[in-house]
A and B are shown apart, each in its own frame.
Chain A
């Protein structure tokens, strides 16, 4: 605690940032779109600076009371390590999104009113220091993103996606409020909703279990934790890309933050070991499911959305392990797992928003997001493709990128997991490790498919052949994100240092002594992962190779038609050759679809082969359905309709029957009274 009783300078500044963001929405609504975007960019940058300042020099001061909220009570804002960490990510992505929106890619202008509000709402839920403001921010966030998803509301799929999304948002609130209420300890008299008061009475017994379930449903659904991830791909595909970047990069992280805040911070450390199990199991499940779907989806935005599901799963595994280890009183392991999770939060937030911005660029430059229509963008959109390569490298977890650093740490934690003990848990951890590795490999395949089909090869449509690079603001935003990705990859230790306060707060131990700027190690003193060294090794090897080749080989090269096992050069009327003859998304995914998709996603493919003599082209139709939607969402919708059908009967009774209902109710109540009085 700080000696001075005044809320810190950083906190006040960030609170102002949130307020300004809300006001900016009005500014944009008043028609000053570009001004609003510039201001958003500036404010987010300022927020990032303030947040860094806090991480560097600040200490968690007393909360800041704002006279808005529950009647008379107002809300409290506070800033501590864990929220500051997530806030940093949010501010960075927010700035990038605003910058991208600066050069209007078609309909970006119509998002001007809600984008700042969206960021502001997320800021609010990160700064929240009492139950009400957390739920308020969370719901405002959901509402704003709901509006943003509806940006081009005239086509039906967008509307249905937004509707599903809203349903999940409502579910979130309906679970989080009771969870909060269970956390607030029972004492007659005034209810104190502030986190400080909640921490003093950690829940026990069935309350704790209920809270765990409610939080997993309420926040997990928002984070895209399996099996409640079904809303995520359609929503991300429906939203404008810079919004998807925010949703996937920041919003899912805010949901994770809520999980961390409630399960780690507010519930206290005195919880059973098995608390981590559901997070681990669901996480591993979702990781594989998402990564596999990423190899099957045909829309590059949907591909990224599915890989978001995968990465959220990995983070969830880390969180679950940290919970279990903390309960088993293994703080070192807990810190390792939590550190890995936070590292992946940062890494995924950065590279996923980068990828989404790239998707937006592709949509703008090439006019489509369908893999089957893209191709060859590397020639027309070099900058975008370069940034996408960086993002894809992180997605595929290739050393020495940030994705690899975080997944390495997570794997180290999982491999050390068996120390928690109990053969059942150990076996579970073994299976989880297996699934994580599977997911990572699948993600690599998805990354290759994404880049190889979408950005390399030959253009598949004239529109793609005529693609053009996006505006400078968008390019700069992407380049900046790419740079951040590389830095985070080269210096994971720095990210862990930024997370130190959060680690201390959640698991009681930092990675101090185990992570320096250059090196991250599982245990103090043991060898670990030194990203800069690996990078240097690679660089040296590359330099050596180039040197050898330069000295020994004949330089230069000739151009000619592709050999392609003797296929002739393309005819004049098809300058790029027949686009059909190259591998598409569906064909690239085929082996995986056959090997895993049939079992896990009920995938099936159907070759539509024209009769001899017909001139139409043969087509390959691929269908797959997500088990979660088949087993969970569709039945729920069915029940809802059936029940509403029953409820409707009551409405259309004749007056006489309605009177009989009244009569019945009266008799029922009278009987009840009689019985109660006889007792």
Chain B
């Protein structure tokens, strides 16, 4: 019985609502086929995540969570989407995404995965706090959906975004855990990784797929070395 459950139903409802919103948004990511709007949805998801973090911070009254929320808001909600948008225009990537898997199958798969993750989490945590339980289930589904959207799309940017929404899922899980220590450090570390991805996409001029690096512009010092 940790103190913050004393806040009763409302806190639970709102946290649950926010988590659910994040999940729904990742379904949206899975569904959406236009790059720009995918980026927009990602930004929205990050914002919702930030709100969720704030709310948790208020519920658990821990200052760390506010920092996390701030990071989520600034970096993922604003900076990264802008950078991606920039890349899209710079590299003139065509806006429509070709999917390796049709809309319906991927959605169905997504639903299945979400169900699976709920199945995995819920019976496990009967005696733990309902809030945590729900949150973990949602977070896991978000992670899995992110992975799913990485493999159902051929376009590199959407894969990158899938990766990032995976990280969102992680942060969601983290903020859900009462008194999670080192949360700031962890989210910073995650952020660094995201920065790497974006940098990589930009640096390697990745247009259509992860695998198709365009390294023609790199100075081939000792290109024979192999």
Contacts from A to B (Cβ < 8 Å): 654-657, 659-660, 662-663, 666-667, 670-671, 673-674, 677
Contact = CB atoms under 8 A, between A and B. Distances in A.
B151 A656 contact: yes
Contacts of A660: 151
A673 B159 contact: no
Contacts of A677: 123-124
B213 to A, nearest CB: 10
B151 A659 contact: yes
A656 B117 CA distance: 22
Interface in B116-145: 116-117, 119-120, 123-124, 144
Given A671-B116, A673-B120, A677-B124, A656 B144 contact: no
A670 B148 contact: no
- The 10 A-B pairs at the shortest CB distance, nearest first, are namely A655-B210, A660-B151, A654-B211, A659-B151, A670-B120, A663-B147, A674-B119, A655-B211, A659-B150, A656-B151
B151 A663 contact: yes
A666 B150 contact: no
Interface string B189-226: 00000000000000000000111000000000000000
Contacts of B148: 663
A660 B144 CA distance: 11
A660 B153 CA distance: 11
Contact of B116 (A654, A657, A659, A667): A667
B100 interface: yes
B113 interface: yes
A656 B211 contact: yes
A649 B124 CA distance: 38
Contacts of B116: 667, 670-671, 674
A674 B147 contact: no
Contacts of A654: 209-211
Contact of A666 (B100, B123, B144, B209): B144
Contacts of A662: 147
A667 B117 CA distance: 9
Nearest to B162: A659
B124 A666 contact: no
B85 interface: no
A656 B100 contact: yes
Contacts of A667: 113, 116, 144
A677 B124 CA distance: 8
Q: Is the interface of A mostly helix, strand, loop or mixed?
A: helix
Contacts of B120: 670, 673-674
Contact of A656 (B119, B123, B154): B154
14 contacts: A654-B211, A655-B210, A656-B150, A656-B154, A656-B210, A657-B151, A662-B147, A663-B147, A666-B144, A666-B147, A667-B113, A671-B116, A673-B120, A674-B119
A663 B150 CA distance: 10
A435 to B, nearest CB: 59
B100 to A, nearest CB: 7
B159 A656 contact: yes
A670 B211 contact: no
A485 to B, nearest CB: 60
A675 to B, nearest CB: 10
A659 B211 contact: no
A656 B149 CA distance: 10
Given A656-B150, A663-B151, A670-B116, 20 more contacts: A654-B210, A654-B211, A656-B100, A656-B151, A656-B154, A656-B159, A656-B210, A656-B211, A659-B150, A659-B151, A662-B147, A666-B147, A667-B113, A667-B144, A670-B120, A671-B116, A673-B120, A674-B120, A677-B123, A677-B124
B123 A659 contact: no
A659 B124 contact: no
Of the candidates B100, B123, B147, B154, the one having the most CB atoms from chain A within 10 angstroms of its own CB is B147
A659 B147 contact: yes
B123 to A, nearest CB: 6
Nearest to A653: B211
A412 to B, nearest CB: 70
A663 B116 CA distance: 13
A131 B218 CA distance: 59
B163 to A, nearest CB: 9
A377 B109 CA distance: 82
A666 B120 CA distance: 12
B150 to A, nearest CB: 6
B208 to A, nearest CB: 11
Contacts of B144: 663, 666-667
A674 to B, nearest CB: 5
A346 B217 CA distance: 75
Nearest to B147: A663
A673 to B, nearest CB: 6
A671 B117 CA distance: 9
A670 B123 CA distance: 13
Nearest to A657: B151
B142 to A, nearest CB: 14
Nearest to B148: A663
Of the candidates A654, A656, A662, the one having the most CB atoms from chain B within 10 angstroms of its own CB is A656
A416 B95 CA distance: 91
A664 B209 CA distance: 20
Nearest to A671: B116
Contacts of A673: 120
A660 B147 CA distance: 8
Nearest to A664: B151
Nearest to B119: A674
A666 B145 CA distance: 12
Interface string B93-115: 00000001000000000000100
